[in-house]
C-alpha cells in the first residue's frame, strides 16, 4: 500500500473505536472489581460480627460463674479454625486474659496498637462504638496476609456485679474486650482471582470487539475506499476508461456509481474536445495539403490537357493522355473532398450506376493487387437500379476499402471480394432519426451524447421527485437507450422536453406489449415516433416509416481473407486519425468513408474475426 498505515481512514476508525472500548470496559471493570471487593469484605465483617457475638454469648455463662478453664477450652476450640487468626479477651487494663494462642495470655496490649485504636484514639476511651468503628484491617507483619479484626466490648450487667464470685464493681461499664481476628488470606485470594478474571475478560472483550470492528471497517470502508482511491489515481493519470466495480447499494456503492458516471461524462467530453481539436487540425492540414498538392497538380493537369488537345492525330498518345487527365481530375476531386470533409460539405450527387463505379474502382486497384499476387473477385448483381450519389466520392470509398482489404492480406495468400446486391429491409434497425422535435419545436437531438457514434435523442424524465435524462437510440428499433438515472420499477414516470419541460406523454394509447403509458415526439415531415415508457419494454412505433414497409437498399460488401481486426479496435476504426497501420496511414481513410456514406443517408458496418478476415458492408437507400 502506498498510503502510510497511520493515514488510512480504516486505521483511524479502528484506533478511535478501540480507545472508546478500552475506556468503557476499563471503567466498568474497575467499578465491578471494587464493588465485588466491598461485598466480600462486608460479608467477612458480618461473619466476624456473628462469630464475635457467638463467642461472647457462648462464654457468658462460664464468665458469670468464673469457669476459667471452660472459657479457655471454648476459645481454644473456636480459635483452632484455620480461618480464624486469634480469639482473645482483654480486661480493662489491656491484659490478655484468654487467647486462642496460649503464648499471648498474660501479655499487656499497647493501647495505641491496631486493635485498640478504635476506642483509645481519643484521650478518654470511648465506651460505645458503631459497628464500622469496631472493625479494622491490618497486617501482622508487612509480608503476611491481611487480617480482619473486630472488637466486641463486654459490657457490665447486673449479673456481673451481683455474681457471688466477686469481682466487678457496679460502676464499671466496660469489663473487657473480645477481639476476634480473621485471616483475609482466602478472601484476598478470591479478590485477586476475580480481578484477574475481570481483567482477562476486559482485555479479550476489547481485543475481540476491535478485531470484529477492524474486519467490518476493512470490509465496508477500507477496501471500497481503497478501490475508489485506486480509481481516482487511474483517472488522475488519464485512464478515463477505468470503471469502479460494483460496490453494492450503500453510500459507497452510490459514490462508485456516480464516480463511474462522472468519468464516463468526462471521457465523453474529452473525446468530443479531442475530436473537435482533431477536426480543427484536420482543417489546417487539409488547407495545407490542398495548397501544396494543387500546385503540382496544376502543372500535371494543364500540361496533360494541353497535350491532349494537340494529340488528336496520335490516337495512342491521345488515349493515354486522356487517362492522365481523367485521373488528375479525380485527384483534384479527392483533394477537394478532403477540404470538404474538414468542412462537412455536401456531395455532388447524380443518378449513377453503382456497378459501374465498382468496375472503375476495381480497375484502379487491380494492378496494385496483382503485384501482391491477390485477386479481386467481383460478384455483381446487374439489376441494381441507378442511385443518386456522388460517383467520385463513392469510387473513393470503394478504392479505399479495396486497398485496405489488400493491406490486410499477406502476399499471395488470399482474395478480396467486392459484391453488390439488392436488399429489402424493414425500417427497424436501419432508419436513422436525424431530427426530432418536441411539441413546442425544440430540437431533441444532442451532439453531446452519442450512441455508437451517432448523436442521441435526449429527453428528460421525472419519477418520484427524481429527474434525469434519457438518451434514446437514434436508430429506429435498436433500443440501445441510456438512462442517466435509476428508474424504479412500478414508479410513475413522466417524460418532458429538456428545453421547455412540455410533456411528451401521450394522453391516449397504451403499449400493446406491456400496457404502459406512451410518449412521443415528432420527426419533421415524417410523422411521430412513439415509445413505451417502461425501460425494459422495447416497444416503439414510427407509423410513417412503418407504413412504407420494407425499404430497398443497394448493398456493397468488400470482404478480405486477411488478418482481421481485434474486437477492441472495431468500435474505433471510423474515428478520424485512428490507425493500425502506424506511420503508413493517416487514420483518415475510414473516417472520410463514414462521412461520405453518412452524407448519402447510407450506413456502413464492419464484421471481423481475427485470423479469418474482415467484411465492410455499405447500404445505400434506393429511392
Partner 1 sequence: MSKPIDILVIDDEQVVRDAVCRVCGADGLTIETAADARTGLEKLHKNTYRLVVCDIMLPELNGFHILDSMKRVAALTPLIMITGYSTMQNAVDALKNGAIDFVPKPFTADELESAIHRGLRYHTLTQNPASRREGEIDLSSLAVPCPVEYHRLGNLSWACIESNGSGLIGVTDLFVKTVSPVGEVHYYDLNCEIVQGSACAEVASEDGLVHNVLSPISGRIVERNEALLASPKMVEKDPYFAGWLYRILPTDVAFSLKQLTPCIGDH
Query: Rule CB under 8 A: which of 437-456 touch partner 1?
Result: none
Going from the C-alpha of 341 to that of each of 236, 450, 588, 599, the distances in angstroms are 34, 20, 10, 10
CA triple 336-339-343, angle to 5 deg: 130
Binding of partner 1 by 346 (CB under 8 A): yes
Q: State how far the Cα of 352 lies from the Cα of 358, in Å rounded to an integer.
A: 11
User: Contacting partner 1 (CB under 8 A), which of 251, 276, 345, 492?
Assistant: 345
- The pattern of x and - marking residues 290 through 329 that bind partner 1 according to CB under 8 A reads xxxxxxxxxxxxxx-xx-xx---------------x--xx
315-343 burial, b at 16+ Cβ within 10 Å, e below that, comes to eeeeeebeebbeebebebbbbbbbbbbbe
Binding of partner 1 by 349 (CB under 8 A): yes
Query: Rule CB under 8 A: which of 92-151 touch partner 1?
Result: none
User: Contacting partner 1 (CB under 8 A), which of 348, 372, 442, 481?
Assistant: 348
Q: Pick the piece of the chain touching partner 1 (CB under 8 A) from 138-146, 230-238, 343-351, 554-562.
A: 343-351
Which C-beta is closer to partner 1: that of 342 or that of 365? Answer: 342
Report in angstroms how near the CB of residue 309 gets to partner 1 at its nearest.
6
Q: State how far the Cα of 324 lies from the Cα of 322, in Å rounded to an integer.
A: 5
Compute the CA torsion angle 135, 140, 144, 148 (nearest 10 deg). -10
Closest CA to 376 of 344, 341, 414, 347: 414
Q: State how far the Cα of 245 lies from the Cα of 250, in Å rounded to an integer.
A: 14
Q: How do beta strands 375-379 and 415-425 pair?
A: parallel
Reduce the DSSP state of residue 94 to 3 states and report it.
coil
Which C-beta is closer to partner 1: that of 71 or that of 596? Answer: 596
Which C-beta is closer to partner 1: that of 439 or that of 524? Answer: 524
Q: State how far the Cα of 522 lies from the Cα of 534, in Å rounded to an integer.
A: 20
Which C-beta is closer to partner 1: that of 22 or that of 325? Answer: 325
Report in angstroms how near the CB of residue 297 gets to partner 1 at its nearest.
4
Find the DSSP H helices in 411-494. none
Report in angstroms how near the CB of residue 393 gets to partner 1 at its nearest.
11
Which C-beta is closer to partner 1: that of 302 or that of 440? Answer: 302
Closest CA to 89 of 58, 133, 120, 121: 58
Identify the bridge partners of residue 603 per DSSP, sorted by sequence position.
619
Report in angstroms how near the CB of residue 526 gets to partner 1 at its nearest.
18
Query: Rule CB under 8 A: which of 27-46 touch partner 1?
Result: none
Q: Pick the piece of the chain touching partner 1 (CB under 8 A) from 252-260, 337-345, 494-502, 534-542.
A: 337-345
- The pattern of x and - marking residues 371 through 400 that bind partner 1 according to CB under 8 A reads -----------------x------------
The beta strand positions in 105-221, using DSSP E, are 135-139, 146-155, 174-183
Q: State how far the Cα of 349 lies from the Cα of 394, in Å rounded to an integer.
A: 10
Compute the CA torsion angle 39, 45, 48, 50 (nearest 10 deg). -90
Binding of partner 1 by 285 (CB under 8 A): no
481 Rama class: left (phi>0) / alpha (psi -120 to 50) / beta? beta
Q: Pick the piece of the chain touching partner 1 (CB under 8 A) from 159-167, 221-229, 312-320, 347-355.
A: 347-355
Going from the C-alpha of 202 to that of each of 15, 38, 197, the distances in angstroms are 17, 20, 9
Which phi and psi angles does 413 have, rounded to 5°?
-120, 0
Report in angstroms how near the CB of residue 345 gets to partner 1 at its nearest.
7
Query: Rule CB under 8 A: which of 350-369 touch partner 1?
Result: 350-351
Which C-beta is closer to partner 1: that of 391 or that of 613? Answer: 391
Binding of partner 1 by 334 (CB under 8 A): no
Which C-beta is closer to partner 1: that of 299 or that of 515? Answer: 299
Binding of partner 1 by 537 (CB under 8 A): no
Report in angstroms how near the CB of residue 488 gets to partner 1 at its nearest.
46
User: Contacting partner 1 (CB under 8 A), which of 56, 190, 265, 336?
Assistant: 336
Report in angstroms how near the CB of residue 298 gets to partner 1 at its nearest.
4
Q: Are 349 and 390 in contact (CB under 8 A)?
A: yes
Report in angstroms how near the CB of residue 602 gets to partner 1 at its nearest.
16
Report in angstroms how near the CB of residue 238 gets to partner 1 at its nearest.
36
Q: Pick the piece of the chain touching partner 1 (CB under 8 A) from 106-114, 332-340, 362-370, 506-514.
A: 332-340
Binding of partner 1 by 287 (CB under 8 A): yes
Which C-beta is closer to partner 1: that of 328 or that of 355? Answer: 328
Instruction: Using CB under 8 A, count the residues that bind partner 1.
Output: 34
Which C-beta is closer to partner 1: that of 223 or that of 348? Answer: 348
Report in angstroms how near the CB of residue 599 gets to partner 1 at its nearest.
9
Which C-beta is closer to partner 1: that of 320 or that of 381? Answer: 320
CA triple 220-225-230, angle to 5 deg: 140
Q: Are 150 and 156 in contact (CB under 8 A)?
A: no
Find the DSSP H helices in 84-162. 117-120, 131-134, 158-162
Which C-beta is closer to partner 1: that of 317 or that of 415? Answer: 317
Q: State how far the Cα of 149 lies from the Cα of 109, in Å rounded to an integer.
A: 15
Q: State how far the Cα of 377 lies from the Cα of 370, in Å rounded to an integer.
A: 12
Which C-beta is closer to partner 1: that of 302 or that of 464? Answer: 302
Going from the C-alpha of 614 to that of each of 284, 416, 620, the distances in angstroms are 33, 10, 20
Which C-beta is closer to partner 1: that of 343 or that of 567? Answer: 343
Positive/negative CA dihedral, 559, 564, 568, 574: negative
User: Contacting partner 1 (CB under 8 A), which of 339, 537, 538, 606?
Assistant: 339
Which C-beta is closer to partner 1: that of 327 or that of 607? Answer: 327
Compute the CA torsion angle 530, 534, 539, 540 (nearest 10 deg). 20
Q: Are 138 and 146 in contact (CB under 8 A)?
A: yes
Report in angstroms how near the CB of residue 391 gets to partner 1 at its nearest.
11
User: Contacting partner 1 (CB under 8 A), which of 34, 192, 343, 550?
Assistant: 343
- In the complex, which residues of this chain contact partner 1 (CB under 8 A)? 287, 290-303, 305-306, 308-309, 325, 328-329, 332, 336, 339, 343, 345-351, 388
Amino acid at each position: 500500500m502506498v498510503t502510510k498505515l497511520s493515514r488510512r481512514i480504516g486505521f483511524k476508525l479502528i484506533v478511535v473505536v478501540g480507545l472508546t472500548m478500552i475506556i468503557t470496559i476499563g471503567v466498568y471493570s474497575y467499578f465491578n472489581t471494587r464493588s465485588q471487593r466491598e461485598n466480600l469484605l462486608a460479608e467477612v465483617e458480618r461473619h466476624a460480627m456473628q462469630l464475635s457475638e457467638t463467642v461472647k454469648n457462648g462464654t457468658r455463662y462460664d464468665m458469670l460463674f468464673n469457669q476459667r478453664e471452660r472459657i479457655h477450652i471454648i476459645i481454644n476450640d473456636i480459635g483452632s479454625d484455620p480461618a480464624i487468626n486469634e480469639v482473645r479477651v482483654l480486661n480493662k487494663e489491656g491484659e490478655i486474659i484468654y487467647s486462642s494462642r496460649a503464648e499471648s495470655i498474660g501479655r499487656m496490649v499497647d493501647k495505641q496498637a491496631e486493635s485498640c485504636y478504635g476506642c483509645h484514639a481519643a484521650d478518654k476511651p470511648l465506651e460505645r462504638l458503631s459497628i464500622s468503628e469496631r472493625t479494622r484491617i491490618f497486617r501482622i507483619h508487612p509480608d503476611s496476609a491481611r487480617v480482619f479484626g473486630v472488637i466486641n466490648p463486654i459490657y457490665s450487667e447486673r449479673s456481673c456485679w451481683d455474681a457471688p464470685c466477686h469481682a466487678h464493681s457496679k460502676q464499671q461499664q466496660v469489663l473487657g474486650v473480645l477481639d476476634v481476628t480473621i485471616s483475609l488470606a482466602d478472601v484476598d485470594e478470591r479478590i485477586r482471582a476475580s480481578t484477574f478474571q475481570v481483567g482477562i475478560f476486559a482485555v479479550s472483550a476489547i481485543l475481540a470487539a476491535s478485531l470484529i470492528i477492524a474486519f467490518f471497517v476493512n470490509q465496508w470502508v477500507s477496501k471500497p475506499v481503497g478501490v475508489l482511491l485506486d480509481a481516482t489515481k487511474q483517472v488522475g493519470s488519464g485512464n478515463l476508461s477505468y470503471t469502479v466495480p460494483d460496490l453494492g447499494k450503500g453510500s459507497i456503492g452510490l459514490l462508485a456509481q456516480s464516480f463511474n458516471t462522472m468519468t464516463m461524462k468526462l471521457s465523453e467530453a474529452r473525446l468530443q474536445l479531442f475530436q473537435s481539436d482533431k477536426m480543427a487540425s484536420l482543417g489546417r492540414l487539409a488547407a495545407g495539403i490542398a495548397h501544396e498538392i494543387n500546385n503540382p497538380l496544376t502543372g500535371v493537369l494543364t500540361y496533360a490537357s494541353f497535350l491532349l488537345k494537340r494529340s488528336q492525330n496520335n490516337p495512342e498518345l491521345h488515349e493515354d493522355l486522356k487517362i492522365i487527365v481523367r485521373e488528375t481530375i479525380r485527384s483534384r476531386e479527392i483533394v477537394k473532398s478532403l477540404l470538404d470533409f474538414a468542412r462537412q460539405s455536401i456531395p455532388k450527387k447524380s443518378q449513377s450506376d453503382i456497378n459501374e463505379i465498382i468496375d472503375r474502382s476495381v480497375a484502379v486497384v487491380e494492378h496494385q493487387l496483382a503485384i501482391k499476387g491477390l485477386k479481386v473477385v467481383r460478384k455483381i448483381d446487374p439489376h441494381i437500379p441507378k442511385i443518386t450519389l456522388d460517383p467520385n466520392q463513392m469510387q473513393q470509398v470503394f478504392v479505399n476499402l479495396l486497398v485496405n482489404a489488400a493491406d490486410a492480406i499477406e502476399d499471395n495468400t488470399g482474395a478480396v471480394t467486392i459484391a453488390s446486391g439488392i436488399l429489402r429491409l424493414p425500417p427497424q434497425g436501419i432508419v436513422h432519426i436525424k431530427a426530432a422535435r418536441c411539441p413546442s419545436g425544440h430540437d431533441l437531438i444532442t451532439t453531446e451524447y452519442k450512441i455508437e457514434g451517432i448523436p442521441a435523442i435526449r429527453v428528460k424524465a421525472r419519477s418520484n421527485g427524481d429527474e434525469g435524462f434519457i438518451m434514446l437510440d437514434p436508430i429506429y428499433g435498436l433500443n440501445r437507450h441510456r438512462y442517466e438515472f435509476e428508474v424504479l420499477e412500478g414508479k410513475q414516470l413522466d417524460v418532458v422536453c429538456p428545453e421547455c419541460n412540455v410533456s411528451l406523454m401521450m394522453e391516449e394509447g397504451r403499449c400493446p406489449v406491456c400496457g404502459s403509458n406512451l410518449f412521443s415526439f415528432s420527426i419533421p415531415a415524417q410523422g411521430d415516433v412513439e415509445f413505451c415508457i417502461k425501460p425494459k419494454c422495447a416497444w416503439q412505433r414510427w407509423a410513417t416509416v412503418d407504413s412504407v414497409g420494407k425499404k430497398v437498399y443497394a448493398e456493397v460488401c468488400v470482404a478480405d481473407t486477411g488478418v482481421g481486426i481485434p474486437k477492441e479496435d472495431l468500435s474505433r476504426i471510423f474515428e478520424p486519425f485512428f490507425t493500425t497501420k502506424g506511420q503508413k496511414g493517416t487514420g483518415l481513410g475510414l473516417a472520410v468513408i463514414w462521412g461520405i456514406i453518412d452524407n448519402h443517408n447510407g450506413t456502413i458496418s464492419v464484421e471481423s474475426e481475427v485470423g479469418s478476415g474482415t467484411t465492410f458492408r455499405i447500404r445505400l437507400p434506393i429511392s
